Chain A
């Protein structure tokens, strides 16, 4: 049962392009939506996160867009660089309470940025 669906599975862009990764969720109780970045041979690391009370959050070249009614959120990478080549995971959780911050991850997107 996949509660968070991520697309595309892989993405190739040229340097300077704007890759967009999309995620859709089913559980309306989710209230915390992080994106994790993973380089080969490393563990995932938090990149940026958003709560459903805002529609957009920007940190540097990374932007999350959130559409609560559609139950969708996406990651945009502005002016992408070869160093952004990594696997990106979206995730969702119910912060606090008895959910204990458990994350439900999407399937992952392998991003390749060509020089």
Chain B
């Protein structure tokens, strides 16, 4: 199993450009999450999905959109990138939210720089 994979690994954008980050998991997990990691701020939840076709806002959703058309994929879009969106983005998935299954498995991250 590959676990959680993210594409691309690195990206540099100019202000105003758009892009899509792809997350894929092969563990048949129901829940998927997008986080951003910034120094001194830990990981903050952007959006999440509790199943195919569903999405919901997290703590810092502004400037981002998501889609989950297939259970194994969760896409994060930036329509008009801003320098404040320079960050490392992590995707995670979990089987479900019950205690024993609450472990979130993280991808390797995408480092995004917006100039």
Interface residues of A (CB under 8 A from B): 4, 6, 9, 32, 34, 36, 41-46, 49, 51, 89, 93, 95-97, 99-108
Interface residues of B (CB under 8 A from A): 4, 31, 33, 35, 40-45, 48, 50, 56, 58-59, 90, 92, 94, 96-99, 102-109
6 residue pairs from A and B, CB less than 8 Å apart: A34-B103, A99-B97, A101-B97, A101-B104, A102-B45, A108-B42
Given that A100-B31, A101-B96 are known contacts, is A95 also in contact with B102, CB under 8 Å in the complex? yes
Q: Top 9 closest A-B pairs, CB basis?
A: A43-B106, A101-B97, A105-B42, A105-B43, A107-B42, A46-B103, A44-B106, A101-B102, A100-B50
Q: How near does chain A come to B61, taking the closest CB pair, in angstroms?
A: 13
Please determine whether A43 and B109 come into contact, CB atoms closer than 8 angstroms.
Answer: yes
Separation of A6 and B42 alpha carbons in the complex (Å): 9
**With contacts defined as CB atoms under 8 Å apart, how many contacts are there between chain A and chain B in the complex?**
73
